[in-house]
């Protein structure tokens, strides 16, 4: 039994190392798709949830490309710490590069985006003359049943309704800054979600996995309906899945102590790093290849097909109408 167990562990380790080698060998090509320094010079980008994980990696690359990046984060102290680290990393990279200072990195700004989306947007509209890219990145994953301050189920409230309200309140600024872009971060797990209009707030029943998937399906339906409404405005909106990424998004998932070493090995071998996972967000925010493209779903910097339930225009319109009432845009 001991020999068989040891052999299984060694086989798993060998397979993991082989897969990791393959993934890291191809990561450089994917990393280069973001563009050259200066590509985003003069553009202002707002990223929600930018102090860690995908948001942090996206912010770092867009600043490298010359953008003025606003980090919209709930915890200002953590955001300031992350911004300080990013500034140091960018300075070191510039000093160690083959041509120090070429292109010129952009700027990092921290703004507190707590549960008061309206106050945040009011401040943005008062202080920012333009907004070229909005990246709806912040999210929460499979948390226990909780509610936002407005009384919404946490995953649906944060992942969908918060970004729905934020985007609508900033649409005027995005339109006046056109051509501009909106990028929405969803997940492949949308496939397991369903829009139950009779229990959107999970008052009758709650399944944390299903509710996460539902919020990610809502992201896609929102993107497609918004794209329809933005036709002719020169503002585009696209949605993406980043793949499975090693971030703190899974902090609410309990991994048994004895299983953690194997889980860490598997995640190291199979999961993307935040930098790898951020590449599609960066691509949609900056690449000339997607200029004018709107209402599409992307993964690994390529357009992908959606399941029929994510293409249902009547559901998308109904979800939009109900979301407007829920967040108070319509009485």
Active site residues: 212
Per DSSP, the three-state class of 66 is: coil
Residue 65, CA distances (Å) to 58, 240, 312 in order: 11, 21, 37
Half-sphere exposure of 227 (CA within 13 A, CB side): 21
Residue 233, CA distances (Å) to 94, 218, 278 in order: 37, 23, 27
Tokens representing 192?
């397991």
CB of 74 closer than 8 Å to CB of 112 = yes
Residue with tokens 């959606």: 306
Tell me if the bond preceding 179 is cis, omega within 30° of 0. yes
CB of 125 closer than 8 Å to CB of 174 = no
Tokens representing 3?
């020999």
Q: How many CB atoms lie within 10 A of CB 156?
A: 23
Instruction: Find the DSSP H helices in the chain.
Output: 2-31, 53-64, 76-96, 117-127, 154-156, 163-176, 208-229, 260-270, 274-277, 279-286, 313-326
Polymer length in residues for the chain: 331
Residue with tokens 């969803």: 186
């Amino acid at each position: 039994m001991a020999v068989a167990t040891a052999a299984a562990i060694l086989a798993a380790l060998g397979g993991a190392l082989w897969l990791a080698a393959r993934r890291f060998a191809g990561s450089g090509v994917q990393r280069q798709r973001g563009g050259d320094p200066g590509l985003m010079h003069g553009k202002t980008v707002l990223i929600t949830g930018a102090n860690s994980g995908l948001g942090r990696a996206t912010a770092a690359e867009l600043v490298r490309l010359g953008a003025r990046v606003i980090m919209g984060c709930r915890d200002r102290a953590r955001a300031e710490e992350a911004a300080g680290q990013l500034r140091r990393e960018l300075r070191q990279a510039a000093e160690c590069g083959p041509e120090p200072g070429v292109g010129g990195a952009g700027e990092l700004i921290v703004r507190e985006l707590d549960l008061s989306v309206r106050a945040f947007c009011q401040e943005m509209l008062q202080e920012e003359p333009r907004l070229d890219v909005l990246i709806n990145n912040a999210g929460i994953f499979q948390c226990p049943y909780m509610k936002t301050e407005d009384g919404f189920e946490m995953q649906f409230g944060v992942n969908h309704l918060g970004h729905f309200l934020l985007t609508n309140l900033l649409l005027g600024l995005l339109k006046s800054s056109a051509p501009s872009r909106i990028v929405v971060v969803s997940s492949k797990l949308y496939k397991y979600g369903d829009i139950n209009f009779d229990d959107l707030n999970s008052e009758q029943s709650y399944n944390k996995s299903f509710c996460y998937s539902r919020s990610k399906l809502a992201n896609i339906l929102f993107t497609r309906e918004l794209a329809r409404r933005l036709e002719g405005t020169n503002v585009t909106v696209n949605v993406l899945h980043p793949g499975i990424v090693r971030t703190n998004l899974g902090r609410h998932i309990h991994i048994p102590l004895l299983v953690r070493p194997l889980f860490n090995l598997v995640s190291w071998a199979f999961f993307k790093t935040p930098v790898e996972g951020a590449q599609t967000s960066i691509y949609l925010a900056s690449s000339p290849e997607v200029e004018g493209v709107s209402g599409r779903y992307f993964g690994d910097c390529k357009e992908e097909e959606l399941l029929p339930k994510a293409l249902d225009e009547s559901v998308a319109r109904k979800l939009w109408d109900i979301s407007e009432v829920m967040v108070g845009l319509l009485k």
